[in-house]
Amino acid sequence: MAGPQVEVDGSIMEGGGQILRVSTSLSCLLGLPLRVQKIRAGRSTPGLRPQHLSGLEMIRDLCDGQLERAEIGSTEITFTPEKIKGGIHTADTKTAGSVCLLMQVSMPCVLFAASSSELHLKGGTNAEMAPQIDYTVMVFKPIVEKFGFKFNCDIKTRGYYPKGGGEVIVRVSPVKQLNPINLTDRGYVTKIYGRAFVAGVLPFKVAKDMAAAAVRCIRKEIRDLYVNIQPVQEPKDQAFGNGSGIIIIAETSTGCLFAGSSLGKRGVNADKVGIEAAEMLLANLRHGGTVDEYLQDQLIVFMALANGVSRIKTGPVTLHTQTAIHFAEQIAKAKFIVKKSEDEEDASKDTYIIECQGIGMTNTNL
């Protein structure tokens, strides 16, 4: 069943963990043996970090594959996939490594498994340099389900930097094929809502201050909409460690979702955290796309696998997205076209259409 080995240079373009996630996912799905070299070569701590290793081990376990040279700090791995199976799988970063990134690497694979899967993902739920779990549930989930599948994400415990200790359980049923998506009609913003949270020893006032500052910031630009950001104290039994942060979502008349988020850090005042999230949301609304900058790259693998032509409208195409496209073309042989949007209302903006002729991956187990 195995084709020729795919060679991937892990140092090009985004040059980080994302190359590993996209290439191992596609290798697993397509049954192609994979060698990745120069993993995270340019980073301050090159090679595999704990979260990358746990993601790789999970993909290996999902398909009873073989993984060689995979250890912390390793800059080269080889992976030989076998048949994807369902069932219960656990991945634990043992750090604040993001559970959302573990979900990113495993979700496409389990859709093409022989039976339903239950993924127990442990690590950081609201961690730096990764989507917050709230983003995954409130933005990624409703949009990615447009490809024609459903999944359930149960947040058992929240975990923060530096200790992690969070856990989510993701349940996914397999599909025969993925439908293409067409997200090109932005509509207009109909509501803005969100949550500002504190966990552990942090005072509730911090959540209230983040929410209030964010609302004030949004009101300056969007006057006619009620902005509902709930301050939340995470229950003691559902959060491990101390953390704070905020996520704000804008929903449009056509069902598009955009987000801005920020995490509290020691020594940074709560107002500043709230304003940062609000400004990120506003920036994502200004460019005229139908997805925000963090969703665009997460949709690429699904577009590549879908049966037909998918289109999404985006703001400036991020390096993460360009990287995902590069490897989806190299490994899966999907065809992408990225071009400037020709709509009149986008003429003055930096707006693009990403179009993909998907490969129509079929689940042979079903």
Task: Look at 269 and 4; give whichever has higher pLDDT.
Answer: 269
**Sequence-ordered strand ranges (E) for 160-297:** 166-172, 182-183, 189-199, 227-233, 239-240, 243-252, 257-263
**Which of these is catalytic: 52, 89, 287, 320?**
320
Q: What DSSP line would sit under 251-274, residue for residue?
A: EETTS-EEEEEEE--TT--HHHHH
Write out pLDDT tens, residues 58-77. Answer: 999 999 999 999 999 999 99
Write out pLDDT tens, residues 206-219. Answer: 999 999 999 999 99
Q: What one-character DSSP code corresponds to residue 292?
A: -
Q: How many CA atoms lie within 13 A of 146 on its CB side?
A: 18
Residue 13 to residues 9, 307, 322, 354: CA-CA distances in angstroms?
10, 27, 8, 18
Please, which residues have CB within 8 angstroms of residue 366's CB and are 6 or more apart in sequence?
114, 174, 175, 176
Write out pLDDT tens, residues 304-321. Answer: 999 999 999 999 999 999
- Are 26 and 53 in contact by the 8 Å Cβ rule? The answer is no
3-class DSSP state of 159: strand
Whole-model pTM above 0.85?
yes
Crossing angle of helices 17-30 and 99-111, in 10° steps, is 20
Q: What one-character DSSP code corresponds to residue 308?
A: S
Write out pLDDT tens, residues 131-181. Answer: 999 999 999 999 999 999 999 999 999 999 999 999 999 999 999 999 999
3-class DSSP state of 175: coil
Q: Tell me: pLDDT of 105 over 70.
A: yes
Q: Tell me: pLDDT of 1 over 80.
A: no
Residue 276 to residues 44, 77, 215, 225: CA-CA distances in angstroms?
26, 38, 11, 20
Q: Tell me: pLDDT of 2 over 80.
A: no
320 flagged as catalytic:
yes
Binding residues: 104, 294-298
* Residue 194 pLDDT level (bands cut at 50, 70, 90): very high
Write out pLDDT tens, residues 266-298. Answer: 999 999 999 999 999 999 999 989 999 999 999
* Residue 129 pLDDT level (bands cut at 50, 70, 90): confident
Strand partners, 354: 312, 338
Domains of the chain: 6-183+291-359 (3.65.10.20), 189-286 (3.30.360.20)
pLDDT (mean) for 25-49 = 97
3-class DSSP state of 182: strand
Write out pLDDT tens, residues 235-271. Answer: 999 999 999 999 999 999 999 999 999 999 999 999 9
Binding residues for ATP: 104, 294-298
Q: Tell me: pLDDT of 4 over 90.
A: no
Characterize the bridge pairing of strands 77-80 and 6-9: unpaired
Q: What DSSP line would sit under 67-129, residue for residue?
A: EES-STT-S-EEEE------EEEEEE-SSS-BHHHHHHHHHHHHHTSSS-EEEEEEEBSB-TT
Determine the pLDDT at residue 163. Answer: 93
